[in-house]
């Protein structure tokens, strides 16, 4: 019901209050046809926000593309976990830098920038198309001058040091990809989902490389699968990191971890 309402509101440029106040409003044939097409796409398991081409995240209006993961509310827990540390670091200085590994739509970096004006961010991704989407999102949300982008496989093309390194990496075991809901399996890019044999491959790469790119006193924050907390902690502790905080998602699952550098 919600998806149907979102589709109707999108194509008619109306809001819920309009439907309540004027339920007999006529819809033109062209708009009605567009709604019917969108409904057929949704019935075929295409996510509603893919159909609309945009999604709200942390109060920001973000455009989607086939090369980007669709940002989801659970990831807002990662933003919430990072903000207190970043606010403390940004107080009285203008050079706080965020590195968002696998930035996709730019959702995490832009959410942090929107809350702390003293920060800058660099988004990396292996997809140039995803980075163009992220830059577009930075532009329409008024943060283009504070958001940089670079094509990079994790740290390969990254230089310099950062106050915060953050990532929502692929963490689904390869064997489980085929069992995902079709809304995810058939529409999110597989490179943003597949975390290797045990789902932890990206965390090993991040933990191994993050120390070289953290400023003194910096932090690393990652989103995790609901059952991966201990595995991810073990990977980072083996590289000398210390757990400093965690956060749960809307369903009460452990979803984000924050580590101090070594």
CA separation for the pair 194, 185 (Å, rounded): 10
Quick one: tokens of 21?
């106040």
Q: What is the CATH number of domain 68-260?
A: 3.40.50.150
Closest to 100 measured CA to CA, from 71, 73, 142, 74: 71
- Per residue in 106-123, pLDDT (tens digit) is 999 999 999 999 899 999
What order do you get walking across the sheet with 147-151 strand by strand?
A: 147-151, 119-125, 96-101, 162-167, 214-223, 254-260, 242-248
Q: Which helix (H) or strand (E) holds 33?
A: helix 29-43
List, by residue range, all CATH 3.40.50.150 domains of the chain. Answer: 68-260
Closest to 101 measured CA to CA, from 164, 57, 55, 50: 164
- Per residue in 146-200, pLDDT (tens digit) is 999 999 999 999 999 999 999 999 999 999 999 999 999 999 999 999 999 999 9
The number of angstroms, rounded, from the C-alpha of 106 to the middle of its chain's C-alpha atoms is: 7
Quick one: tokens of 258?
């924050």
- Checking if the pLDDT of 141 tops 80, the result is yes
- pLDDT at residue 262, as a whole number: 66
- Per residue in 188-240, pLDDT (tens digit) is 999 999 999 999 999 999 999 999 999 999 999 999 998 999 999 999 999 99
Q: What is the pTM of this model?
A: 0.94
């Amino acid at each position: 019901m919600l998806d149907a309402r979102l589709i109707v509101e999108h194509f008619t440029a109306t809001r819920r209050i309009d439907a309540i106040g004027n339920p007999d409003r006529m819809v033109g044939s062209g708009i009605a046809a567009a709604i019917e097409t969108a409904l057929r796409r949704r019935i075929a398991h295409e996510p509603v926000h893919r159909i609309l081409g945009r999604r709200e995240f942390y109060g920001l209006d973000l455009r989607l593309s086939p090369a980007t993961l669709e940002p989801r509310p659970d990831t807002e827990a990662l933003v919430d976990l990072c903000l207190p540390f970043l606010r403390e670091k940004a107080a009285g200085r203008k050079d706080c830098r965020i590195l968002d590994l696998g930035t996709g739509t730019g959702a995490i970096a832009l959410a942090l920038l929107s809350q702390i004006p003293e920060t800058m961010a660099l988004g990396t991704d292996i997809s140039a198309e995803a980075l163009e989407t992220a830059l577009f999102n930075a532009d329409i949300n008024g943060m283009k001058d504070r958001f940089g982008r670079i094509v990079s496989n994790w740290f390969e093309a990254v230089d310099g040091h950062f106050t915060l390194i953050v990532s929502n990496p692929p963490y689904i075991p390869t064997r489980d990809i085929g069992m995902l809901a079709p809304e995810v399996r058939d529409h999110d890019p597989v490179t943003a989902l597949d975390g290797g044999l045990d789902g932890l491959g990206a965390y090993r790469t991040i933990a191994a490389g993050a120390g070289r790119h953290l400023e003194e006193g910096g932090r690393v924050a990652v989103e995790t699968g609901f059952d991966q907390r201990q595995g991810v902690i073990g990977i980072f502790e083996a590289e000398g990191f210390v757990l400093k905080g965690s956060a749960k998602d809307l369903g009460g699952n452990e979803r984000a971890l924050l580590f101090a550098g070594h």
